A and B are shown apart, each in its own frame.
Chain A
Amino acid sequence: MHNRRARPTVRLLTDDLTGGWLSPVPRRNLSAGDLDALHPMSELPHPLIAKALDCFGEDPERDHPVGPIAAGTTIRLLEIKAGQWRGGVWQDPSSGVCWLVVAGLAKGEHLDHDDFYQRVERDDDPTRWLPGPADERLLKRETAARLTRDWELLIQKAMLEALRSVATGGTTTFRLPHPLLTDEPLAELTLEITPVREPGYQADDVGLTIDPDPKYAAGPLIWRLTIRALTSLSPPEQGWDRYHDSYSNIGEPGSWATRADELDTAVANDELLMSEPGRRSHYTHRKHLVAKTVEGRAVPSLCGVYFVPAQDHRSSPVCPECESLYNDLPN
Chain B
Amino acid sequence: MKILPIAGVPAAQLDALDLFAHRDAGPELRDILLNLSRCARDGSEVAVIDPAETLTPSQASARLGMSRTHLYKLLDQGAIPSHRVGRDRRISLRDLLTFEEQRGCDRAELAERFAHQEATRKAAIDEVADLL
Chain A residues with CB under 8 Å of chain B are: 1-2, 137, 140-141, 143-145, 147-148, 179-181, 194, 196, 198, 201, 203, 205, 207, 219-221, 223-224, 226-227, 237-238, 240-244, 246-248, 250, 275, 277, 285-287, 296-300, 304-308
Given contacts A143-B129, A287-B43, contact A237 B73 (CB under 8 A): no
Q: Are the CB atoms of A147 and B110 closer together than 8 Å?
A: no
Judging by beta carbons under 8 Å apart, are A144 and B117 in contact? Answer: no
Q: Which residues of B contact A145 (CB under 8 A)?
A: 125
Please tell me if the beta carbons of B131 and A275 are within 8 angstroms of each other in the complex. no
Interface string of B93-132 (1 = CB under 8 A from A): 0000001001110111111111111001101111111111
Given A198-B69, A287-B44, A299-B108, 4 more contacts at CB 8 Å?
A203-B67, A247-B110, A306-B107, A306-B111
B10 near A: Cβ within 8 Å? Answer: no
Which residues of chain A are near B66, meaning CB under 8 Å?
A: 241, 248
Q: A180-B131, A181-B131 are in contact. Are A298 and B125 (CB under 8 A)?
A: no
A220 touches B112 (CB 8 A): no
The answer to whether A243 and B112 have CB atoms under 8 Å apart is no
| Residues of chain B with a CB closer than 8 A to A179's CB | 124, 128
Give the contact-size bracket for chain B.
35 or more
B42 on interface, CB distance cutoff 8 Å: yes
**CB of B65 closer than 8 Å to a CB of A:** yes
CB of B22 closer than 8 Å to a CB of A: no
* A297-B69 in contact given A1-B132, A148-B128, A227-B114 (Cβ < 8 Å): no
Q: Min CB distance, B62 to chain A, in Å?
A: 10
Report whether B126 and A223 are in contact in the complex, using a CB–CB cutoff of 8 Å: no
Closest 3 pairs (CB-CB, A-B) = A220-B123, A298-B111, A144-B129
- The complex places the Cα of A126 from the Cα of B109 at a distance, in Å, of 52
B115 to chain A, nearest CB (A): 4
The interface residues of chain B lying within 8 Å CB-to-CB of A1 are 132
Contact of B126 with A141 in the complex, beta carbons under 8 Å? yes
CB-nearest residue of chain A to B102: A243
The distance in angstroms between the C-alpha atoms of A243 and B116, with both chains bound, is: 20
Residue among A226, A243, A244 making CB contact with B113, cutoff 8 Å: A226
B67/A227 in contact, CB under 8 A: no
A residues in contact with B110, CB < 8 Å: 240, 242, 247, 306
CB distance from B124 to the nearest CB of A (A): 4
Q: How far is B125's CA from A187's CA once the two chains are assembled, in angstroms?
A: 18
